[in-house]
Amino acid sequence: MAKFQISRRKFLTGASLGVSGIMLSGCDAFDSQLGMGDGLRSFLENANSLTYRAQRLLAGRDALAPEFSEADIRQPQRPNGVTAPDDDTYKGLLANNFADWRLEVTGLVEKPLSLSREQLQNMPSRTQITRHDCVEGWSCIAKWTGTPLSLVLDQAVVKPEARYVMFHCLDTIDRSLAGEIKYYGSIDLIDARHPQTILAYGLNGKPLPVENGAPLRVRVERQLGYKMPKYLYKIELVDSFANVGGGRGGYWEDNGYDWYGGI
Amino acid sequence: MESVAMTQPSIGADATTLKETTLIYRQSRWTRLTHWLWAISLFFMLLSGLQIFNARPQLYIGKQSGFEYNNTVFAIGAENTTTGPRGYTEIFGHRFDTTGVLGWSGPAGQETSRAFPSWATIPSYYDLGTARVVHFFFAWILTATLVVWLVASLVNGHLRRDLAPRLDDLKRLPQDIIDHAKLRFHHTREYNTLQKMAYGGVLFVLLPLMIITGLAMSPSMNSVLPWLNEVLGGRQTARTIHFTVMLLLVGFFIIHMLMILAAGPINELRSIITGWYRTDPPAHDDKPAERSV
């Protein structure tokens, strides 16, 4: 009995020393296991798909994001990420007030489209006052006006094998050895056809400013800001995003953010 | 198993008297298992949460963050002064210099502007995406553990027997406060009133509030439970509550550790690892006042 007690005591002492050791040495103890592709990181990422499924199950297809009143618009929409693209193509389009800009709709569609700003604005529009939630933690309420993405998809006639909408943008978000990386991102067809998912060209009653994504940006109101690309020029219907960028569905996703971005 | 008790003689301070101490089986395997799962989850959630906070080290009251108006109630930041960069923490407009820990920290000569220092965040370097992976993984563990514990504690009677408040608890509260203040601990089968309040407060108030305010920050959950943020006072208020409850949980943890050290760490740790707890010997007849309830 005495011997057993000593070993138990030793165990307890050792355990508490171990725990306090980890705490005192700081949390860099886990750094080497948490990079993209590391074992522990990959294991923990399994929870992302559980989180995604739970949100899909609970929110379904059509549950609406809360909408707010004019009185809740208390400030200009806070811009984030790229706010003034330095790309020659973009600057050229901007100089001409986007008269030469087109929205291409390609990929798994029966009728590829090339829409001018006027054509988009002549389609039925939706205006909504919603709260923009950035992954960083801040929120900002603004009024967005745009063309429901579902109308554009209907016009292009999506092929049955299409599963995702890939957004391609004009702004350079990063540079790699392979060259400039333009912003890209994706949502699935459920969110693409959600009634509040619009291609916005208006903000707070005025044309969309450059810092907020002129001439066109995505609004996906049940998800975080990084799921709403700005400076949009091409929509591509795909059955998989494995071959786009790093294969995780978007620029930020390829840098470690979860694909769904609903929490 | 619950009622099994072993009595064994042990030598007291006065070597001539042989005191009877009793080992009782105090904590069920469910209580012990869930306790350690919470400990691990909360450790990772705290440190990944501080990393997430670092991405936007301000807290606001209301539906949105005031950029053109002021609804900031808490902020950590860095500023340049004549004596070099300083870290500060601002609470309701009152600014405190927190250089070295909050706002401006790092190894000497390599300090950087960051709200919580690298030793307090996972990962230690700035990485919001990874912190979110860690945070949400353990959010599932924490929540599942809470559900398992609740069901097990309802079934095995832990809730009713050990945590449910009784009229008696109210009566002994003043004496409990005095005993704790004097660091005079009674080792009994039952929790004392302050213990019940602390454990019950964490399990039935703080952890549920943490989960609720966490969900309230989710734009997708806002479409499922649109009333949630209205009840809480807006998404940014929910975020502020989330942070405040974190502070309360850290406060609980510190007191929890101090109480364990003061009450006898070996005995307390044994009971939460093996379940077995050594209770006080029965009080002597000449000291009836110290008989524990």
Dihedral angle sign, alpha carbons of residues B92, B98, B99, B101: negative
Please tell me which of the candidates A44, A78, A137 has its beta carbon nearest to residue B55. Answer: A137
Chain B residues near residue A223 by CB distance under 8 angstroms:
219-220
Classify residue A20: in a domain, yes or no.
Answer: no
Residues of A in contact with B274 (CB under 8 A): 8
Select the residue from A20, A130, A252, A263 to test the B interface by mutation, using most B Cβ atoms within 10 A: A263
Measured between beta carbons, the chain B residues lying within 8 angstroms of A263 are 136, 214-215, 217-221
Kindly state the DSSP code that residue A28 receives in the 8-state scheme.
Answer: G
Q: ∠ CA(B93), CA(B217), CA(A64), 5° rounding?
A: 130
Burial class (CB in 10 A: 0-12, 13-18, 19+), A230: buried
Is B63 in Cβ contact with A68 (below 8 Å)? yes
Mean pLDDT by 10 residues, chain B (293 residues): 47 47 90 97 97 98 98 97 96 96 94 96 95 98 97 95 92 93 89 95 98 98 97 98 98 96 93 93 54 42
Instruction: Give the per-residue pLDDT at B282.
Output: 72
A19 located within any domain: no
Kindly state whether B56 is in contact with chain A, defined as any CB-CB distance less than 8 angstroms.
yes
Question: Does residue B221 belong to the interface with chain A, where contact is any CB pair within 8 Å?
Answer: yes
The model's pLDDT over B117-162, given as tens digits with 9 standing for 90+, comes to 999 999 999 999 999 999 999 999 999 999 999 999 999 999 999 9
Strands A103-107 and A232-238, bridge-based pairing: parallel
Q: What is the CATH number of the domain that holds A131?
A: 3.90.420.10
* The pLDDT of residue B280: 87
d(CA A224, CA A132): 7
A136 to B122: CB separation less than 8 angstroms, yes or no: no
Note the pLDDT tens digit of each residue in A25-34.
Answer: 556 888 989 9
- pLDDT, residue B20, reads 65
- The predicted model gives A110-124 an average pLDDT of 98
Look at residue A26 and tell me if it is in a domain: no
Q: How far apart are CA B254 and CA B251, in angstroms?
A: 5
In terms of CA atoms, which chain B residue is nearest residue A76? B68
Query: Does A17 map to a domain?
Result: no
- Is the CB of B219 less than 8 angstroms away from the CB of A55? no
Q: What six digits make up the tokens of B283?
A: 């009080």
| pLDDT of the residue at A189 | 97
Res. A10 pLDDT band, cuts 50 70 90: low
Instruction: Give the length of chain B.
Output: 293
**Mind telling me how many Å the CA of B18 is from chain A's nearest CA?**
17
In chain B, % of residues over pLDDT 90: 84
Q: What is the pLDDT of residue B281?
A: 82
Q: Using CA atoms of B94, B100, B102, B103 in order, give the dihedral in degrees to the nearest 10.
A: 90
At residue A178, the pLDDT reads 86
Domain count, chain A: 1
Distance to chain B for A131, nearest Cα, Å: 8
| pLDDT (0 to 100) of residue A9 | 56
Spell out which residues of chain B touch residue A260, defining contact as CB-CB under 8 Å. Answer: 220
Identify the helix (H) or strand (E) that includes residue A127: strand A126-133
Decide: pTM greater than 0.80. yes
Q: Which of A26, A75, A262 has the CB atom closest to B219's CB atom? A: A262
Average confidence (pLDDT) over A194-203: 98
- Judging contacts by C-beta atoms under 8 Å, the chain A residues touching residue B239 are 137
**If you average pLDDT over residues A53-70, what whole number do you get?**
96
Nearest C-alpha in B relative to A78: B67
Shortest Cα distance, chain A CAs vs residue B46, angstroms: 11
- List the alpha helices (DSSP H) in A60-109: 88-95
Least confident piece of the model among A31-45, A209-223, B128-142: A31-45
**Helix (H/G/I), strand (E/B), else coil: B156:** helix
Reply yes or no on whether the pLDDT at A238 is more than 60. yes
B positions 145-204 inside 8 Å of A (CB): none
Query: Which residues make beta-bridge pairs with A199?
Result: A147, A218
- Complex ipTM value: 0.90
Q: Between chains, do A76 and B58 touch, taking CB under 8 Å as contact? A: no
Q: How far apart are CA A50 and CA B143, in angstroms?
A: 13
